[in-house]
Chains A and B, each alone.
Chain A
Amino acid sequence: DTEVTQTPKHLVMGMTNKKSLKCEQHMGHRAMYWYKQKAKKPPELMFVYSYEKLSINESVPSRFSPECPNSSLLNLHLHALQPEDSALYLCASSPGQGARGYTFGSGTRLTVV
């Protein structure tokens, strides 16, 4: 299995909702990442987990809460989002932090209404 699987593919949520994005990989990778991509822009790093511990937080607002319950799973919990948080959220993994190969998922298209 050489894929990163993200669910759901599309999500519409209100500003008072709580939802979660899920990312899963079974390649034995020990680093996992969350990126946010706005329309017509490159992806921007949000979080890096290395060996299930938060390694990098790019000053992301607390309404985004990452979680890495095990080496194969990465979640992004969402609460009280704003319409400007609407974007494509991409998950990626690599054998280790800074390793030479990064595999991206297809993303979750999030719309906040």
Chain B
Amino acid sequence: AQSVTQLDSHVSVSEGTPVLLRCNYSSSYSPSLFWYVQHPNKGLQLLLKYTSAATLVKGINGFEAEFKKSETSFHLTKPSAHMSDAAEYFCVVSDRAGGTSYGKLTFGQGTILTVHP
């Protein structure tokens, strides 16, 4: 079984300050991990993904995430927030082949990021 816990339902930052969105996961098999962003009334856009290569993953728009197996975490960071970053962010896990959840994406509950001027 796989599960995802996003530790904050809302995060509020000022423009130009760092962003940290926290995610912990549980997976029976070596997982693939993703961060998606969803702007209001829009679909999901992939920010970055971890699939067993480098543990520090760089994504689009200056975001990056670090896979820490010992902590079962995959936190999303950005050094300097921009107003356009305001959106909802989902941490997602997918089991690899052989997992009972193979092919299924399990979503966290989402974190709403607010950016103040």
Contacts and interface: CB of A to CB of B under 8 A. Distances in A.
B105 A97 contact: no
Contacts of B45: 104
B94 A98 contact: yes
A33 B99 CA distance: 18
Nearest to A96: B103
Chain A contact residues, majority secondary structure: strand
B43 A107 contact: yes
Contact of B90 (A42, A55, A56, A92): A42
B107 interface: yes
B97 A98 contact: yes
Summarize B's interface: helix, strand, loop or mixed: loop
Interface of B: 32, 34, 36, 41-46, 49, 51, 90, 94-97, 99, 102-105, 107-110
15 contacts: A41-B109, A43-B105, A45-B105, A50-B103, A56-B104, A88-B41, A90-B43, A97-B103, A98-B94, A101-B46, A101-B49, A102-B46, A104-B44, A106-B42, A107-B43
The 10 closest A-B pairs by CB, nearest first: A42-B107, A97-B103, A106-B43, A104-B44, A98-B103, A100-B51, A98-B102, A107-B43, A104-B43, A100-B32
Contacts, number: 58
A29 B47 CA distance: 20
Contacts of A43: 44, 90, 105, 107
Contacts of A90: 43-44
Nearest to B110: A42
B46 A103 contact: yes
A103 B111 CA distance: 20
Contact of B104 (A45, A100, A103, A105): A45
Interface residue tally on A, bucketed by range: 20 to 34
Interface of A: 6, 31, 33, 40-45, 48, 50, 55-56, 88, 90, 92, 97-98, 100-107, 109
